[in-house]
């Protein structure tokens, strides 16, 4: 089986860094960090403006995890990654593959 197209599951979002967990390491020794993101925006839906506010759990690995862990709380970030289920399957988590402070 080959790798599916990365375009099939891509998320780009602007969000503030709300919480940052401690940098940890996977059993393979890869740095990992769990964060909580906060997003607010106005979106047009069916011709009406809708205020959107949400919190999103996210995780990063490797050098992205190390860099994300050094960001100050409250900083706005342009984030790119993909969504997958949480370990218990009762929600989604964003796997951060790249980010830039705004």
* Three state DSSP letters for 45-86: ECCEEEEEEEEEEEEEEHHHHHHHHCCCCCCEEEEEEEEEEC
Residue 37 and residue 55: Cα distance in Å, rounded?
Answer: 5
**Is 90 within a domain?**
yes
Check whether 4 has a pLDDT greater than 90: no
Structural domain tally of the chain? 1
**Is 47 within a domain?**
yes
**Is 40 within a domain?**
yes
The CATH number of the domain where 55 resides is what? Answer: 2.40.50.140
What's the domain range around 83? 12-101
**Is 2 within a domain?**
no
36 SS3 class: strand
pLDDT tier at 2, thresholds 50, 70, 90: low
pLDDT tier at 48, thresholds 50, 70, 90: very high
**Is 5 within a domain?**
no
- Say what the alpha-carbon torsion angle 99, 55, 19, 97 is, to the nearest 10 degrees: -20
Region 29-55 average pLDDT = 97
Residue 34 and residue 78: Cα distance in Å, rounded?
Answer: 17
Check whether 6 has a pLDDT greater than 80: no
pLDDT tier at 87, thresholds 50, 70, 90: confident
């Amino acid at each position: 089986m080959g790798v599916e197209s990365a375009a099939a599951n891509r998320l780009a979002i602007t969000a503030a860094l709300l919480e940052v967990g401690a940098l940890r390491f996977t059993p393979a020794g890869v740095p990992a960090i769990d964060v909580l993101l906060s997003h607010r925006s106005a979106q047009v839906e069916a011709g009406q403006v809708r205020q959107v506010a949400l919190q999103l759990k996210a995780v990063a690995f490797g050098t992205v995890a190390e860099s994300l862990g050094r960001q100050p709380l409250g900083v706005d970030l342009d984030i790119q990654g993909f969504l997958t289920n949480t370990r218990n399957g009762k929600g989604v988590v964003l796997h951060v593959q790249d980010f830039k402070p705004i």
